[in-house]
Amino acid sequence: MNSQEISIRTGSRSELVDITPQLSRLVKESKVADGLLVVFVPHTTAAVTINENADPSVQTDILNELKRLVPLTGSYTHSEGNSAAHIQSTLLGPSQTLFIQNGRLALGTWQGVYFCEFDGPRTRKIWVKIIGQ
Ligand code: ZN
């Protein structure tokens, strides 16, 4: 029941990175048939979300609307200059819990798990814990 770490390098300020393949590989290696996978992002300007992995325009729309809702510049007080990234990350949240069924991640047909970068490009960590028999 140790946690594992995935490292990814993001390529732009805001970006959604599909991490479903990496999570599926960890589930396979764990040999857990029924259980839970918890994915946690230990960063304050990044998040993890689950959404459509079929049409990439959905990811573009999500990022564009988050930028519209929380603009890069505004009447922010945080001196580091990345308040928008902090706010966007807290809107989506740092973790997701997924079911493992029959040795595989149980996702809806059109769902993928996305690491959400809001203050890149950076090298980021993702922690994963798999719980099960
Ligand atoms: Zn900051």
Domain segments of the chain as ranges: 2-132
The answer to whether 129 and 38 are in contact (CB under 8 A) is yes
What's the 103 CA to ligand 1 centre distance in angstroms?
39
| Sequence-separated (6 or more) residues with CB below 8 Å from residue 131 | 1, 32, 35, 36, 37, 38
d(C-alpha 44, C-alpha 89), whole Å? 7
What's the 113 CA to ligand 1 centre distance in angstroms?
25
**Torsion, Cα of 79, 80, 86, 88 (10° steps):** 90
What's the 71 CA to ligand 1 centre distance in angstroms?
15
| Per-residue confidence (pLDDT) for residue 1, from 0 to 100 | 55
Q: What are phi and psi of 61, to 5 degrees?
A: -65, -40
Q: For the chain, how big is the Rg over CA atoms in Å?
A: 16
Over the chain (133 residues), the average pLDDT of each successive run of 10 is: 90 97 97 97 98 95 98 95 98 98 97 98 98 87
| Per-residue confidence (pLDDT) for residue 2, from 0 to 100 | 72
What's the 5 CA to ligand 1 centre distance in angstroms?
23
CA nearest to 128, candidates 13, 45, 51, 21: 21
- Quote the pTM value: 0.95
| Sequence-separated (6 or more) residues with CB below 8 Å from residue 114 | 16, 17, 18, 19, 48, 49, 50, 51, 59
What's the 64 CA to ligand 1 centre distance in angstroms?
21
The answer to whether 52 and 112 are in contact (CB under 8 A) is yes
CATH number of 2-132: 2.60.120.460
What's the 117 CA to ligand 1 centre distance in angstroms?
14
| Per-residue confidence (pLDDT) for residue 35, from 0 to 100 | 97
What's the 88 CA to ligand 1 centre distance in angstroms?
12
Q: What are phi and psi of 41, to 5 degrees?
A: -105, 110
The answer to whether 48 and 97 are in contact (CB under 8 A) is no
What's the 41 CA to ligand 1 centre distance in angstroms?
16
